[in-house]
Amino acid sequence: MNINDLDTPTLIADLDVLEHNINGMASLCRNLDIPLRVHTKTHKVAEIAKLQLNAGSQGITCQKLGEAEVMVDAGIDDILIPYNIVGKPKLKRLTSLLKHAKITVALDSEDTAIGISQQAISDGCIVPVIVEMDTGGGRCGVDSPKKTHLLAQKITKMDGLDCQGLMTYPSNVNAKQFITETIDLLKIDGIPVNIVSGGGTGAEAASKEIRCTETRSGSYLYEGMTRIGNSEMLSPDRCVLRVIVTVVSTPTTDRIIVDGGQKTFTSYPPSPYGHIMEHPDAKIYGMSVEHGHIDVSACPHKFRVGDKLSVIPLHQGMTSNLHDELIAVRGETVEAIWKIIGRGKVK
| Burial class, 215, CB count within 10 angstroms (exposed 0-12 / middle 13-18 / buried 19+) | buried
Contact call for residues 295 and 289 (beta carbons, < 8 A)? no
**280 vs 273, higher pLDDT:** 280
pLDDT 10s digits, 278-312: 999 999 999 999 999 999 999 999 999 999 999 99
Question: Which sequence spans correspond to the domains of the chain?
Answer: 3-10+227-339, 15-223
CA distance 55 to 57: 6
Look up the pTM and report it: 0.95
Q: Residue 202 contacts by C-beta under 8 Å, 6 or more apart in sequence?
A: 220, 225, 226, 227
Q: 3-10+227-339 with 15-223: one CATH topology?
A: no
The fold of 3-10+227-339 is Lyase, Ornithine Decarboxylase; Chain A, domain 1 (2.40.37)
Give mean pLDDT, residues 230-239.
77
CATH number of 15-223: 2.102.10.10, 3.40.50.1820, 3.40.50.150, 3.20.20.10? 3.20.20.10
At 229, is the pLDDT very low, low, confident or very high (cuts 50, 70, 90)?
very low
